[in-house]
Amino acid sequence: MIDFFNYVQNDWDNIFAYTMEHLQLVSLAIVIAILIGVPLGIYLTTNKYLAETVLQVASIILTIPSIALFGIMIPILSIINQGIGFLPALIALVLYSQLPIIRNTYTAIQNVDPNIRDAAKGIGMTTFQRLTRVEIPNGMPLIMAGIRTATVLNIGIGAIAAFIGSGGLGVLINSGISRGNSNMVLAGAVFVSLLALVADFILKFIQKRVTSPGVK
Amino acid sequence: MIDFKNVTKIYGGEVKAVDDITMSVNEGEFVILLGPSGCGKTTLLRMVNQLETITDGEINVNGQNVKEMDKIKMRRNIGYVIQSNGLFPNMTIEKNTMIVPDLLGWDRKKKRDRFNYLMDLIGLNPDEYRKRYPHELSGGQQQRIGVARAMASDPPVMLMDEPFGALDPIIREKVQDEFLTIQKEVKKTILFVSHDIDEAVKMGDKISLLRQGQIMQYASPTEMLHRPKNDFVSEFIGKDRVLRSMSLYTVNDLVEALGLKSKEEDIQDTKEITIDTSLRVALSMLLNKEADELLITDDQGEAHGSLTFDLIETFINREVRGA
Ligand SMILES: Nc1ncnc2c1ncn2[C@@H]1O[C@H](COP(=O)(O)OP(=O)(O)O)[C@@H](O)[C@H]1O
Ligand SMILES: [Mg+2]
């Protein structure tokens, strides 16, 4: 244990740099995933047939082991000389985030009380006003829950992405294993968990800020 | 103001929910759509603000065919209240109430004044409720806010679908009374769905009694109670139609027809009521033995004499049965 703390203290600059790298990859992936997943989830509520297909595809993506997904992307992205590194890791994380984000957004909008939707229509809101003033605000807790799940998921998978050279805390784990340095592996694991905890805490705080007190 | 011409609604090519209905609601009139569950009341109502399409026939509001109007614009100009109040949980009471003025782009001052006015009208303190959320209000309060929201932009026409249906009987009576008082002041043209004959008799200027999408009788409550047009109508009104019709009269009507007795000295058990109390209430007080005689006073508190069970019976025989 003392060893571990000594290691962390001595190697702090490296650990901090890897954590920041990790954070950068995951945040960018989540932002892109939200920009794709939330509008898609909302759109799917207008097309039940497409919704089933898309949700199924997203579930299947989530079951592909991450190592395999990286393997598939290497030859494809090699065409543009990006077979390994940041880009394939980013794409993988965006893909993995889609299921929780799309599914939760879709469910959140679908679950809005039909009476409330009816009232919104009946008093003369346009489709867009209904969405922004009623459906999204009332579905906010579920939408945010999806984003939080995706974030925690991404922080974990982000560690595996180090295998294809995307950097981040996975590097500590990888080189720790190959050098037989258990403190290094432990540090990688601990900081991945810490990052996930802090990220979830911050997102919970954001969720509170963006959800109306009238919505439980 | 609202004209239905041979209006028919068929759902999915099979279910005939509304069957060739023709009727008119005049300006300032309070018309009840009455009938058993599934007879097409809601469908008929929702075709007016185009929440349902019209299969056949036409509906004109203020002489204009609803099909030719801009849906969004016309809905903002027609008040709409539903049973489950449909308040938006994410908005404060003020936001909820002022949603239509908001959509219409009113300025803040105008919205605030209107909110204060409406809250006073429905008997809730504007400053106390302004910042609260719907879930913090009782069912009765929520329903009143639902009504206030529908009246926010002062629409000439209101559509109300069993607005008080979810309330318990005592609160419902109270909210009904309040709404009648409000209606006396604002004089809206109202189409009001109900499955409760008592509510219909109490609230409506006219009742349109429906069965399987067709009108069985369209008449004033008095007319319907006294001259039911067919067996369905008399059955729907029920055996206690005489009792029902009592809510159409006030003590004052009896006083004008028969006068009152002077108070008998030996009767101890008396209770004071005002002259504008409905006869139905007076009768139930006597039947419940709350008093043997009711002392009638006017709003200045001046005594007019006393009302007994016998007097009411005479009135029923002369005015209600004899009519
Ligand atoms: N969206 C719908 N699709 C198919 N049938 C419907 C729909 N809405 C109502 N109906 C049917 O139309 C008839 C009238 O319904 P409704 O207008 O809701 O009656 P009420 O309000 O008098 O209870 C019923 O038989 C009902 O089952
Ligand atoms: Mg109905």
- Position B323 scores a pLDDT of 47
- Position B276 scores a pLDDT of 84
Which of A123, A125, A214 is nearest residue B133 as measured by Cβ atoms? Answer: A214
Confirm if B286 and B308 have CB atoms less than 8 A apart: yes
- Position B263 scores a pLDDT of 67
Q: How confident is the model over A110-118, as a mean pLDDT?
A: 93
CATH H superfamily, domain B249-320: CBS-domain (3.10.580.10)
pLDDT digits (tens, 9 = 90+) for B136-146: 999 889 999 99
Instruction: Note the ligand closest to the C-alpha atom of A118.
Output: 1
Where does CATH 3.10.580.10 sit in chain B? 249-320
Q: Which positions in chain A touch B135 (Cβ < 8 Å)?
A: 214, 216
Q: Which positions in chain B touch A126 (Cβ < 8 Å)?
A: 72
Contact A124 B76 (CB under 8 A): yes
Which of A116, A122, A212 is nearest residue B80 as measured by Cβ atoms? Answer: A122
A212 contact B CB<8A: yes
Mean of pLDDT over chain B? 88
Q: Which positions in chain A touch B49 (Cβ < 8 Å)?
A: 122
CA nearest ligand 1 atom 4, residue: B11
Q: Which residues of B touch A (CB under 8 A)?
A: 49, 51, 71-77, 80, 82, 84-92, 99-100, 103, 133-135, 149-150
Domains, in order of start, for chain A: 2-109+143-210 (1.10.3720.10)
A26 contact B CB<8A: no
At A83, the pLDDT band (50, 70, 90 cuts) reads confident
pLDDT digits (tens, 9 = 90+) for B154-187: 999 999 999 988 888 888 888 888 889 889 888 9
Which ligand 1 atom is nearest residue B52's CA? 1
Q: Which amino acid is at A86?
A: F
Q: Is the pLDDT confidence value at B300 over 60?
A: yes
At A165, the pLDDT band (50, 70, 90 cuts) reads confident
CA distance B71 to B3: 18
- Position A12 scores a pLDDT of 87
- Position B264 scores a pLDDT of 65
- Position B260 scores a pLDDT of 76
Q: How confident is the model over B97-123, as a mean pLDDT?
A: 93
Share of chain B above pLDDT 70, in %: 95
Contact B76 A123 (CB under 8 A): yes
- Position B302 scores a pLDDT of 79
Q: How confident is the model over A98-125, as a mean pLDDT?
A: 94
Which of A118, A126, A140 is nearest residue B82 as measured by Cβ atoms? Answer: A118
Residue A177: CA atoms inside 13 Å, Cβ hemisphere, count? 10
CA distance A116 to B80: 12
- Position A163 scores a pLDDT of 84
As a three-state string, the secondary structure of chain B is CEEEEEEEEEECCCEEEEEEEEEEECCCCEEEEECCCCCCHHHHHHHHCCCCCCCEEEEEECCEEHHHCCHHHHHHCEEEEECCCCCCCCCCHHHHHCHHHHHCCCCHHHHHHHHHHHHHHHCCCHHHHCCCCHHHCCHHHHHHHHHHHHHCCCCCEEEEECCCCCCCHHHHHHHHHHHHHHHHHHCCEEEEEECCHHHHHHHCCEEEEEECCEEEEEECHHHHHHCCCCHHHHHHHCCCHHHHHHHHCEHHHHHHHHCCECCCCCCCCEEEEECCCEHHHHHHHHHCCCCCEEEEECCCCCEEEEECHHHHHHHHHHHHHCC
Q: What distance in angstroms lies between residue B38's CA and the mean position of ligand 1's atoms? A: 6
Q: How confident is the model over A105-130, as a mean pLDDT?
A: 94
Q: Is the pLDDT confidence value at B266 over 70?
A: no
Contact B86 A137 (CB under 8 A): no
CATH H superfamily, domain B2-239: P-loop containing nucleotide triphosphate hydrolases (3.40.50.300)
Where does CATH 3.40.50.300 sit in chain B? 2-239
Contact A134 B88 (CB under 8 A): yes
Which ligand 1 atom is nearest residue B193's CA? 21
- Position B110 scores a pLDDT of 95
